[in-house]
Structure 1
Amino acid sequence: MKSAFDAAAIRARAEVAISVALEAGREAARFRRDSNPGTLAVENKGLQDFVTIADRKTEQAIRDGLLSHFPGDTFMGEESGGRSGEGGTWVVDPIDGTTNYIRGFRHWAVSIAFVAGGKVEIGVVYDATEDKIFHAVRGGGAFKDGIPVHAAATADPANALVILGHSRKTSFDDHLALSKRLHERGMDYRRTGAAAIDLVRVAEGAADLYYERHLNAWDMLAGALIAEEAGAIVAMPGVDRLLADGGPVIAHSPGLTGEFAFILDIEGL
């Protein structure tokens, strides 16, 4: 399916999304600091109330910021739901890495993707660790605060750093087996808890692989496009399937394709 949006329309949306993500991300960071959830009661309800407020406030600000400029677009958010439309759809995770956010571990993100014609056309990720914006427009490369970024040139698995996500919807035994296999190949690995950030780490060459067996579309679409435009090899199901059901994603530096081919076989990608 061909997108109904020309290059100028996509570029206009990208510029607004960058501005909205930066403002929303900084406001979420301020809310976290000012609320000081460390002083809240430790019961789950107190923390959950805090993060629900933060998520909803951030998502509403993103929705308002995007749709005030492009009222004909549709919106799908982690908090408010929604469906993809016939034209273009914004797919948003207002705070990706909510547990990190609650605890003050600054490995969290704002993730905004724009989907049209069955493809991700725009990806924008606010990186709270550095107060930076990553973005990509399909076919135009990937950028961090306007500076091009590129996937790593790593070819030796002994020099590789990989990031593995894990969803409770999938087998933890499989996750451990994969970790063991990569460890035996000499690779160092991490699990950090925010898919959007993990994908942009591959995009900027700080990591050589990100893989998770199940994510929702709003967790992965923006980061996956940024990684792909940075030269990483990215595989995931089709956008329509991801919007409906979620699924796996793998992004890795091109020099290690042979090392990670078995993951593609596992997922049938």
Structure 2
Amino acid sequence: MCPAGPTDPATDLDLALSLADAAAAVTLPRFRAVDLRVERKPDRTPVTDADTACEDRLREVLATHRPSDAVLGEERGGSLGEDRVWVIDPIDGTKNFSRGVPVWATLVALVEHGRPVVGVVSAPALGRRWWAAAGRGAHTSDPARGIEAGRIGVSGIAALEDAYASTTDLDHWRTLGRQDHWLALTHACWESRAFGDFWHHCLVAEGVLDVAVEPEANTWDLAAAQILVEEAGGRLTDLTGAARPDGGDSLTTNGRLHDAALEIVRR
């Protein structure tokens, strides 16, 4: 782990990567565990004992190594009101986690003065990790392809009719009264899927997808993804076009398609 005291992007990134290791040590043993406890929060989203245990562990590490920094987490709360805030989603994709689907991840970001400057997305059940720091590019590890720390970048697709787009759940658009916006985007694009959650942001950063849209999202869902996509050459904004992780929704693109896609899904 990194020592407490003055930091720079490199040491903050090292700490974020260490936090991802600590998270995996908590979450992986609980994945597909027969005694996994799953409850519903007031907003009807699921939470497992692994979610809370993971966030508690990461808060312990941060209290030791960054005691003066604030923390915002999905399960224990917080805010972006401080100069430096660590933003944690202990398990992004809890529905997948609780059903034994391996597409879930721990998201860790450092936000300074409202802007993400470090981000790590760790998907241990997939054997994948993505990370970025401001001015240092975006990278991934992909052991199946023999990649330990490969630089990644967005696609060169320049027209929506050639674009591959993703969202999380069509019914979510319907319940928000915005289904027509997503359908209009799919009609404008070449192909659409619902990879959802952290994964489609990472796929945009890798150049596999070109557009990803979330009609509703939280700061902890987006902070790590924003710096990752930006350092890969793309854009992540809310659906008004503001580049922020706390706007309540998101549009992630390779940058070239952003304005055209935003015209269709803008709120």
Same fold at TM > 0.5: yes
Please give the per-residue CA displacement for 1:165-205, whole angstroms capped at 9, x wherever unaligned.
359886447543234323323421122342x2221111111
Assess if the C-alpha contact under 8 Å between 2:38 and 2:49 holds in 1: no
| Separation of aligned partners in 1, 2:183 and 2:24 | 36
> Does structure 2 conserve the Cα–Cα contact (< 8 Å) formed by 1:134 and 1:144?
yes
* Corresponding letter in the other structure for 2:15: V
**SS of residue paired to 2:75:** coil
TM-score normalised to structure 2 length = 0.82
Deviations 1:42-100 (A, max 9, x none): xxxx6328943111111011112222211111111110112335331111110011101
> Is residue 150 of structure 1 aligned with residue 153 of structure 2?
yes
Match of 1:55 among 51, 55, 63: 51
Q: Which runs of 4+ in 1 moved over 4 A?
A: 166-171
| Structure 2 residue aligned with 1:133 | 129
Distance 1:93 1:129 in 2: 16
Partner of 1:43: none
Q: Indicate the residue corresponding to 1:177 in structure 2.
A: 180
The amino acid that maps onto 2:263 is F
Superposition TM-score, scaled by structure 1 size = 0.81
1:158 deviates by 4.2
Higher RCO (CA-CA < 8 Å; seq separation 6+): 1
Kept in 2, the 8 Å contact 1:17–1:66? The answer is no
Given that residues 93 and 104 in structure 2 are in contact (C-alpha distance below 8 angstroms), is that contact kept between their aligned partners in structure 1?
Answer: yes
Determine the C-alpha separation between the residues in 2 that align with 1:170 and 1:225: 25
**What's the % identity of the aligned pairs?**
28
Contact persistence 1:166–1:175 (CA under 8 A): no
**Partner of 2:43 in structure 1?**
none
Structure 2: gaps of 5 or more residues: 41-45, 142-148
Could you say which residue in structure 2 is the equivalent of 1:73? 69
Q: CA deviation at 1:224?
A: 1.4
The question of whether the paired residues in 2 share the 8 Å contact of 1:153 and 1:254 is answered with no
Structure 1 residues 127 and 175, CA gap change in structure 2 (3 angstroms): farther
> Alpha-carbon deviation of 1:251?
1.1
Distance 1:83 1:257 in 2: 28
Please tell me the root mean square deviation across aligned C-alpha atoms, in Å: 2.7
The answer for the alignment partner of 1:262 in structure 2 is 263
Q: Which amino acid aligns with 1:79?
A: E
SS at match of 2:207: coil
Distance across 2 between alignment mates of 1:262 and 1:165: 20
The residue that corresponds to 2:145 in the other structure is none
Structure 1: gaps of 5 or more residues? 41-45
Change (3 A) 1:173 1:62: closer
2:171 and 2:185 mapped to 1: Cα distance? Answer: 21
Preserved CA contact (<8 Å) 2:48 2:98: no
Aligned to 2:249: 248
2:16 counterpart SS class: helix
Q: Which has the higher helix share?
A: 1
Change (3 A) 1:170 1:157: closer
Q: Distance in 2 between matches of 1:91 and 1:109?
A: 14
Q: Which amino acid counterpart does residue 36 of structure 1 have in structure 2? A: V
